[in-house]
Structure 1
Amino acid sequence: NVTSKSTSSAFQLLWKQAQTLPLFPALGEMESYMFECVNQAAVHEELEDETRRLCDVRPFLPVLKLVTRNCGRAERLLDSKIGVLIGKGLHELDAINDQEVKDFRSKMFRLSEERMQRVQKMSFSEWLQACFSPQLEPAGTTITDGVNEPILLNFTFDYQQFSAPSTQSELTSIPTLSFLQYIRTCMQAKESPHLTLVHNSTVKAMFDKEMSTIGAVVNHKMNKLILQSFLLVQVQVRAGLFHGTELLCKPAVSSESSGRSDHMWKENTLEFDISVSDLPRMTRLCFAIYAVMDKTIPWVNTMVFDYKGQLKTGDINLHCWSSFPDELEEMLNPIGTIQTNPYTENATALYIHFPEYSSHPVVFPPFDKVSWGPGRGGKKFHIELKEIMERDPLSQLCENEKDLIWTLRYDCRENFPQSLPKLLLSVKWSKHEDMAQLQALLQIWPKLSPRDALELLDFNYPDQYVREYAVRCLRDMSNEELSQYLLQLVQVLRYEPYYDCALTHFLLERAQGNRKIGHFLFWHLRSEIHMPAVSIQFALILESYCRSCIPHIEILKKQVEALSKLKSVNELIKLGTTKNARSKTKEAMLTKEAMMTCLRQSGYSETLSDLHSPLNPHILLSGINVERCRYMDSKMKPLWIVYNNKLMTGDNLGIIFKNGDDLRQDMLTLQILRLMDLLWKEANLDLRIVPYGCLATGDRAGLIEVVSSADTIANIQLTSSNVAAAAAFNKDALLNWLKERNSGDALDRAIEEFTLSCAGYCVATYVLGIGDRHSDNIMVRSTGQLFHIDFGHILGNFKSKFGIKRERVPFILTHDFIHVIQQGKTGYTEKFGSFRQYCEEAYLILRKNGNLFITLFALMLTAGLPELTSVKDIQYLKDSLALGKTDDEALKQFRQKFDEALRESWTTKVNWMAHNVAKDNRS
């Protein structure tokens, strides 16, 4: 079977046959050639690695093409490996005719070479220090049992400290050349390239393709703008200039154009009432195309200045996106990507022309330092300022409040430095004088804590200098803290309009310096490489990481290949269950047998063995225990894979592979649960949370950690009763289950574990608005820890049936839970009082960190999660945490919800009964 052979063997067979052909001598040396194929991702893949088997290569068609080697073998082999690893062939990046892409790759290639040269000169101990951290974290961390992530050796790097002037004399000693003065100086210098920066009083984008000046054409190729192809449609184009979500001036609207597919505007100018000199560096020009009687609104965005800071000129072809978010102000989508739609065949095309403002390029000038005397207000104004600055991030500022903040900006610096975001929202970004003053102020602003600085990476703060300041603050993060927020930091790369930015360099530097951060940066990027809006950006960062960490490539490549094998097994199971749908029992037996046969094949067992777990790179997955593997009986047939555990004592390691489900919302929820656990522990409250591992690895694919020695509430109840309908009302089932597994002091410890964890999850599920809490989504470990799984519904999106809410309580607190907490005693005992106290204490701790939770969810808004699409979704957090209220008011609200959960717990039991009956009928 040739598919089981290596590419080298296949190559030798081909070469042997080629010797019989007349023109064989013209081929030359065998080493000058290699195979190329089209792989499963429809990408040309060069098979430089001759040890790979053809069954692992998995070409899209059974065709291998012989191609010549055009450069050094080592370079081609590395390029090929990187392309396969990141899921995007590097020849695709080579083919992109974009100078920004070329410049970024060239720069990162040079930096990667320099880093690898430094690595090659390191001793082994120096290399260990560089990759696995040289400085131990503070004492007190412990190695856990494998459910909570094991902490091995945590190291951090020291970065140059940022110091800011603190005295008034230092403030006033800064040179006082304003941006306005800079522009005037440039205007007086005839030879200056900035001469015409304010030559025209307005920014223009004119629509007239046939005139010799400027023009634009709207052209849709799939009738997206019309209901029927034979109808004439009235089409308009709307455009706006934005800085973040702030509209810089009134939007411009074109005249109407009639046509069936192609639309053209003659002698039509879109003019904006703003001076060129007042345009911020990060200005976005946002377009939306409207057709009468059609809800589809194609949109597209572009930057006004290019990556070099030069004002754009000339013709630009923009391919629009069709999915338009609801309820956007001015019906434009500034938060959307600035990338054009790569699927040009099915996209509306918008052709625009930026005018030439002068014979010289107009370049955005660098700001010089500026000092303006601090504004001062009376005592009354300072009291008002304090109240404004203590509001949560979702609170809106009125114009009077913005003016007050800006007037007292130096007071803000001295007394409320952590409220820098509110000052930034008060800047008039359409006035270059304000921009210049802000830039000067940033030079002397005290460094924020990394947690506070995270908010500055939100889309509302696009200014380059603000984001660079935020990254300087993030450099104080330890590696563990950076890992905690890495999910958000990868997502906010979407907000960066240019590839070469401070955040990208920061993430690459820290990933290169710590293998664990590099591991998760790789997977967070690769899991979304299929998304058109970020595909090029993420591929460029992944290529940069791989080139600078070549030793990590083989480790990651092994994981990618293993996941590919698991996907094949999953597809085999789905195919088997479809064919045998009529006989469920027979189907299950045959399909499981086919699955086990597949896993025993050498090609699968070798690929799936001896690899670092994508869920936790500290864990080595040695070999599969095939007899204990199975697939789960849900729609997507997830695989339950069991590994032998050689490195850690205890049970075997289990992972669940899902193919067809988007795990990113689960991943976000578990990250927040992990953060809650950290915040509680910082306040000396350990609520025994079980934040099991979860990682999205691709398009609707990923892995979930199996928590050992645990079962669902549903299974525990069903095993105690022969009747599914009655099982949910058996309050003794859970306590008896724990008694069977624990005795004496162990039972007391298990009940304490249950009490603490139940309190933690009651508060967490209430604050996050986690829905669909049936008895199969709550589990208990034999040691007593209760924990929740499956977070498909969050932020108050509770399930309903026939228009009736199935979940009518704020959190799950049933009487059988209370029965366990009180060890079977009736009436509310002292133990129940302790449980209630744990809940209230946990809630108040989360309230103190409410702004952080809002920030983390806000940074995920463009990730495309189904239940996190707008700021309105995050409003749920503000309400559940009672932000804006005093602790006493918030505690009163929480106690009312607590009592409501107790009073209405019977509705939970009814919901569980319905779930148990439905589950029993399915089986």
Structure 2
Amino acid sequence: MQANVLKCNSNWLNVSQMVWKHARSEPLFNVLSDPDAYVFTCINRTAEREELEDEQRRLCDVQPFMPVLRLVAREGDRVEKLINTQISLLLGKGLHEFDAQKNHEVAEFRTKMRSFCEEKAQDRQRLPWHQWMEYNFPCDLEPFSRAAQSGKSRSVKKIFINVKFEASELVVQAGLFHGSELLCKVVTSSEVSVCSDPVWDQKLAFEINLCDLPRMSRLCFALYGVLEKTKKQRSTKKKKKADCPLAWVNTMVFDYKDQLKTGEFLLSTWPSLLTTCTIHSRCGISHCCAQHQKLKEIVDNKNHTEFFEDEKELLWKLRGEVRAHYPESLSKLLLITKWNKHEDVAQMVCLLRKWPDLPALHALELLDYSFPDPHVRSFTIRCLRKLRDDELFQYLLQLVQVLKYESYLDCDLTTFLLERALSNKKIGHFLYWHLRSEMHVSSVSLRFGLILEAYCRGSIYHIKSLMKQVGRAEKLLLGFISSQKSTSRSQITEDMKLCIKQDTYVEALSDTVSPLNPNIILSDICRNFLRSTEKCKFMDSKMKPLWLMYKNKWVQADTVGIIFKNGDDLRQDMLTLQMIQLMDILWKTEGLDLRMIPYGCLSTGNKTGVIEVVKSSDTIANIQRNNSNSAATAAFNKDALLNWLKSKNPGDKLDQAIEEFTLSCAGYCVATYVLGIGDRHSDNIMIRENGQLFHIDFGHFLGNFKAKFGINRERVPFILTYDFVHVIQQGRTNNSEKFERFRECCEQAYKILCRNGTLFVNLFALMRAAGLPELSSSKDIQYLKDSLALGKSEEEALKNFKVKFNEALRESWKTKVNWMVHTFAKDNR
């Protein structure tokens, strides 16, 4: 072969194809095995023999010590070795790390899940052709969505804090818990002097019989520093001790084989700066009331999760009545069950076997941390098995998060998710990404990595598609984005033009499955910067997101836009858009189509992700600026939006565009109010040319509104400005009939959400496992309970919403002032 045939940017796929093309003309070609039986090797810069497996890796990336490559037969099981290498690339960590655990639970889980997933793969190969097609090309699982690479974790700078520690002694508190319930009195160790290696060497005895310990009991240790405080009382000094929480950790009492743990264990503690473990008990007072009437009051109160002692006794006494007449209140019964009494546990388990299946609305709640019992979790999965694929897809984000609450690797939820992912490729696609995006989190990387390995072994044919998404494309894109963050706008554009003309980028970014929708193949990048109105570009925000337009392989003349972000956590945006999509589904189920646009958004790694471009749209800010003489007064130009819609919808099309605007504005007014969406300015509210209004960028929700110098910048329940009203009223101030219809749409939409309030509260509660800064405690959930008026009648809820509606309209001038300040600050950056 001639030396000049190979280019330095050739990848191993090109090299392999070239070698085998020339090899066919050699006399002994027929004695060779298949190409997969061989692998290229070289001596690398560290003088080690390296096997070159990654097909997308380039010659210039390897930089061999000498310009010599050797093609050798694979050692051992060539197929197994190749698959292991590919799976390691998809996980972002080597499978040898699992072997290095030397953990019996890990080894048994891997063996069991591999057998399970490979059996599912074999079953799939035996499917009739039409079922096989349904797996590979499932129907759209987002029934009302308008929507059509993985990121390598950025290096995280570590911050070291020196803390002056003034405690004189250390003490340990220990408690036994079932979920969040304390099973018996907390015990406290003796105090020891502060030192670098404190030792207690004492036994802690709990006031509970071993036979009364629930299967899922956890032992929680909390380390405290004992401070000596000096308090002045009546001119005399009196010393008072106070405890300062330092660290905490918990561990299961029984192992994954149901055996009591014995021996020595090394437990890594969590610092109290992150989470404080509070050991407490509940107390209560009594009420008097008729038993059945009182029971009905308890179960009817959707906002009722704390119980007095007499209420607990009544619920337990009438548990048969609860099963027969109020089965959806199972969670309340489970919360008051005495899990430290084996007689009560046995009765609850027996009752659970006869419990009727619950709809997903109530079953999902039982996956929370408060319900760790394996019988409860098995019952929950039994209920969830009835979900259709599109319904399961709607809750997939939460189901992945609550895997973090599972005590052991082998659990019903893991098996359920793998089973459904292996029977529907689209569910498998998003299960992969939801797991892969958190592989950098040390507390879940083992569990998520093992599940990903199992999925890949059951989806060998899906591996190549995934590898294309997480291979060179992510390295090129994310590296390119990072390099442009301190570059001028003009230089960025020139760099972009030059970059996407290079063969390396074209090859890596073309003919790949869209992470946002696996039914779409992104064939080629649209490289015309001059003629295309929706061109490839770097966006103007701080993190310089990369906006790329692709040709759609399956639809001629169609383009697909994707925004690649590096530096922002998109998980909160994902959750918000999931809720907006769910609202859209609930409204349409009741015959109300509010023309929502829950565009695609996917977190692919540590502060990396992709967002769908909604084509033919522009921000309110741009529309106002382009239709005003002065940037300072643009926010107060009430004619700008209507004039823009007229220019895009001439003649008879205008009425339909105004209708689209009216309905979508109603939908987003209600959605942003219920979810408490903050930071609403004219750059994150957009309009499509057909009239549809929609919101973007959901960095603040659940009432976490922005403030400047301690002053709340957002003083309205939702955005309803007079220029919006001007469009709704078709530019006529006396057109009250149109506005009243808009108001009625808002009220109808709000009532539908209130009827389904429990579902939203449950889904948000399950997402607490994600560790989002604005969703970490029950206080955050309380905002949602208040906005959805949980526990109130529909009349009371609607009355409160009418007050908020009038407030939004009356105070809309404050929104305009805020928008003007935002525009001024942006223009002077």
Q: Deviations over 1:526-578 (max 9, x none)?
A: 0001101100000000000000010000011111122332112212323xx2x
2:774 maps to which of 867, 876, 895: 867
1:92 aligns with 2:97: yes
Note the 1:538-577 alignment, pairs <5 A: 538-561=448-471, 562-574=473-485, 577=486
Aligned-residue offset at 1:409: 0.7
1:17 is aligned to none
1:786 maps to which of 693, 705, 716: 693
Distance across 2 between alignment mates of 1:817 and 1:532: 47
Note the 1:824-835 alignment, pairs <5 A: 824-827=731-734, 829-835=736-742
2:261 is aligned to 312
Distance across 2 between alignment mates of 1:63 and 1:400: 82
Aligned-residue offset at 1:325: 4.7
Change (3 A) 1:45 1:239: farther
Aligned-residue offset at 1:599: 2.0
2:416 maps to which of 479, 498, 506: 506
1:704 is aligned to 611
* Amino acid in the other structure paired with 2:53: D
Change (3 A) 1:50 1:826: closer
2:57 maps to which of 53, 56, 59: 53
1:250 maps to which of 165, 185, 206: 185
1:239 aligns with 2:174: yes
2:539 is aligned to 632
Distance across 2 between alignment mates of 1:320 and 1:68: 48
Aligned-residue offset at 1:269: 1.9
Change (3 A) 1:57 1:413: farther
Distance across 2 between alignment mates of 1:55 and 1:687: 53
Change (3 A) 1:83 1:731: same
Report if the CA contact (8 A) 2:789-2:797 is conserved.
yes
Gaps of at least 5 residues in structure 2 are 1-5, 19-34, 149-158, 228-242, 282-287, 530-534
Report if the CA contact (8 A) 1:726-1:913 is conserved.
yes
2:146 is aligned to 148
Change (3 A) 1:687 1:9: closer
2:270 is aligned to 321
Aligned-residue offset at 1:825: 1.0
Distance across 2 between alignment mates of 1:252 and 1:757: 58
Aligned-residue offset at 1:36: 9.1
* Amino acid in the other structure paired with 2:384: L
Report if the CA contact (8 A) 1:234-1:291 is conserved.
yes
Q: Secondary structure at the match of 2:609?
A: strand
Aligned-residue offset at 1:887: 1.2
Higher relative contact order (CA 8 A, sep 6+): 2
Report if the CA contact (8 A) 2:182-2:280 is conserved.
no
2:249 is aligned to 300
1:227 maps to which of 153, 164, 167: 164
Report if the CA contact (8 A) 1:286-1:302 is conserved.
yes
Distance across 1 between alignment mates of 2:128 and 2:799: 61
Report if the CA contact (8 A) 1:225-1:290 is conserved.
no
1:852 aligns with 2:759: yes
Distance across 2 between alignment mates of 1:286 and 1:387: 35
1:603 is aligned to 504
Report if the CA contact (8 A) 1:844-1:887 is conserved.
yes
TM-score (norm 1): 0.78
Gaps of at least 5 residues in structure 1 are 14-29, 151-221, 333-377, 581-586
1:435 aligns with 2:440: no
Q: Deviations over 1:504-523 (max 9, x none)?
A: 00000000000000000000
Change (3 A) 1:887 1:328: farther
1:102 is aligned to 107
Aligned-residue offset at 1:588: 2.0
Change (3 A) 1:62 1:751: farther
1:798 is aligned to 705
Distance across 2 between alignment mates of 1:458 and 1:605: 45
Distance across 2 between alignment mates of 1:875 and 1:282: 28
Change (3 A) 1:754 1:413: same
Distance across 1 between alignment mates of 2:592 and 2:211: 55
More moved, 296-305 vs 909-918: 296-305
1:765 aligns with 2:672: yes
1:275 is aligned to 209
Aligned-residue offset at 1:9: 9.2
Q: Deviations over 1:433-482 (max 9, x none)?
A: 11100111111111111222111111111110101000011011010001
Distance across 2 between alignment mates of 1:247 and 1:64: 67
Change (3 A) 1:9 1:794: closer
* Amino acid in the other structure paired with 2:297: E
Q: Deviations over 1:840-891 (max 9, x none)?
A: 1111100001111110000011211110010110000111111111111111
Distance across 2 between alignment mates of 1:771 and 1:61: 56
Aligned-residue offset at 1:227: 2.4
Distance across 1 between alignment mates of 2:448 and 2:65: 28
Distance across 2 between alignment mates of 1:783 and 1:467: 47
1:739 maps to which of 646, 650, 653: 646
1:652 maps to which of 529, 538, 559: 559
Aligned-residue offset at 1:124: 4.5
Distance across 2 between alignment mates of 1:425 and 1:685: 37
Distance across 1 between alignment mates of 2:589 and 2:397: 22
* Amino acid in the other structure paired with 2:590: A
* Amino acid in the other structure paired with 2:491: L
Q: Secondary structure at the match of 1:329?
A: coil
Q: Deviations over 1:748-776 (max 9, x none)?
A: 11111111111111011111100000110
Note the 1:439-454 alignment, pairs <5 A: 439-454=349-364
1:889 aligns with 2:796: yes
1:76 maps to which of 57, 81, 90: 81
Report if the CA contact (8 A) 1:241-1:283 is conserved.
yes
Change (3 A) 1:314 1:61: farther
Distance across 2 between alignment mates of 1:464 and 1:299: 25
Report if the CA contact (8 A) 2:298-2:304 is conserved.
no
Q: Deviations over 1:322-380 (max 9, x none)?
A: 25456653289xxxxxxxxxxxxxxxxxxxxxxxxxxxxxxxxxxxxxxxxxxxxx993
1:615 aligns with 2:509: no
Distance across 2 between alignment mates of 1:295 and 1:592: 55
Report if the CA contact (8 A) 2:247-2:276 is conserved.
no
Change (3 A) 1:812 1:715: same
2:371 maps to which of 433, 436, 461: 461
Q: Deviations over 1:56-76 (max 9, x none)?
A: 977999999999965211111
Distance across 2 between alignment mates of 1:38 and 1:811: 60
Change (3 A) 1:651 1:725: farther
Change (3 A) 1:602 1:223: closer
Percent of aligned pairs sharing the same letter: 56
Distance across 2 between alignment mates of 1:634 and 1:483: 32
Aligned-residue offset at 1:126: 4.6
Distance across 1 between alignment mates of 2:588 and 2:728: 22
2:237 is aligned to none
Report if the CA contact (8 A) 1:651-1:708 is conserved.
no
Distance across 2 between alignment mates of 1:76 and 1:124: 30
Aligned-residue offset at 1:645: 2.8
More moved, 235-244 vs 391-400: 391-400
Change (3 A) 1:423 1:744: same
- In the alignment of these two chains, the number of paired residues is 767
1:687 is aligned to 594
2:633 is aligned to 726
TM-score (norm 2): 0.87
* Amino acid in the other structure paired with 1:608: L
Report if the CA contact (8 A) 2:142-2:390 is conserved.
no
Report if the CA contact (8 A) 1:714-1:775 is conserved.
yes
More moved, 716-725 vs 257-266: 257-266
Q: Secondary structure at the match of 2:694?
A: strand
Distance across 1 between alignment mates of 2:185 and 2:447: 32
Aligned-residue offset at 1:32: 8.5
1:486 maps to which of 396, 413, 416: 396
Aligned-residue offset at 1:623: 0.6
Change (3 A) 1:754 1:61: farther
Aligned-residue offset at 1:45: 12
